[in-house]
Structure 1
Amino acid sequence: MDVRNCKKCGKLFNFTGEPLCPACAKELEAKFFDVRTYIYDNPKASMSTVAEEMDVPIQQIKKWVRQERLAFTKDSGISIECENCGRAILTGRYCSECKKKMTNQFSSMYQEKEQQHASGIKASSKGKMRFLGE
């Protein structure tokens, strides 16, 4: 059992991946829904205005945007940077081009590994069963 202190209130709690106790996590989740409603009602509000009006740090709003829990419209003027190339995006961690490149790289690496694995099995088997100690 992993017991830690809550990042916000300092109380001890069973750590399950989130650095907040259940009470603070519930409070943060309620703040998220309030922020989401505020952005929906005020689509052209700046991120600093949202943070100030809703009493939430800008970093928390950016975290929700990176987690794709919040997204802004194109005409809102709010954007964050792609973590790979720096291009302005509205939600997530990467722009669509960087996502596509990463997907292609992972696919080609997977196919290469599969080919190596398949050729390795064919070369070593030669139709015989192998036993340890032979």
Structure 2
Amino acid sequence: MEVRNCRTCGRLFNYIGGNPNMCPACRDDLEKKFQEVKSYIQDNPRASIQQISEDNEVSTNQLRQWIREERLQFTDDSPIGIECENCGASIKTGRFCENCKNTMANSLAQSIEKPKPIEEPKKKPDNKNKMRFLEK
């Protein structure tokens, strides 16, 4: 196992691949903050990112990360919006707008070559076992 320092508190912990560089205690604290923010947004759907950040003592960068990860979603009438990473359109959650998602999915599907059906070689007629007639 690999031992790393927690990026939040600096304590040593056993790093398991794929997890952020955070010790289990800090990760649990962050999850509790997320649940608080989620319930706050349900109670205050028109709140801005800055207001959510100040009232819940969470950085705006952390809020944006949760939005990009699609863990937080906002209603259509909410003033909160982030930009699509591809075209810059305003979106409520995720990294890309629906247009860009569809374009990427189509280009990916076109880039993957579909297997061509295997054609069996054409058999030549076998004239050896047939009856023949001679004409005069």
TM-score between the two structures when normalised by the length of structure 1 = 0.83
Structure 1 runs of 4+ aligned residues shifted over 2 Å read none
Identity among equivalent pairs (%): 49
For 1:40 and 1:14, locate their aligned partners in 2 and report how far apart those are by CA, in whole Å: 36
For 2:15 and 2:97, locate their aligned partners in 1 and report how far apart those are by CA, in whole Å: 33
Give the RMSD, CA atoms, in angstroms. Answer: 1.5
For 2:36 and 2:63, locate their aligned partners in 1 and report how far apart those are by CA, in whole Å: 12
1:100 corresponds to which residue? 102
Q: How many angstroms does 1:18 deviate by? A: 1.5
TM-score between the two structures when normalised by the length of structure 2 = 0.81
1:125 corresponds to which residue? none
Q: Would you tell me which structure has more helix in proportion to its own residues?
A: 1
Q: Which runs of 5+ in 2 are unaligned?
A: 120-136
Aligned-partner SS, 1:20? coil
Q: How many angstroms does 1:59 deviate by? A: 0.3
For 1:108 and 1:2, locate their aligned partners in 2 and report how far apart those are by CA, in whole Å: 41
Which of residues 23, 37, 44 in structure 2 aligns to 1:42? Answer: 44
For 1:99 and 1:38, locate their aligned partners in 2 and report how far apart those are by CA, in whole Å: 30
Deviates more, 1:69-78 or 1:30-39: 69-78
For 2:30 and 2:106, locate their aligned partners in 1 and report how far apart those are by CA, in whole Å: 37
For 2:15 and 2:68, locate their aligned partners in 1 and report how far apart those are by CA, in whole Å: 23
Q: Give the length in aligned residue pairs.
A: 117
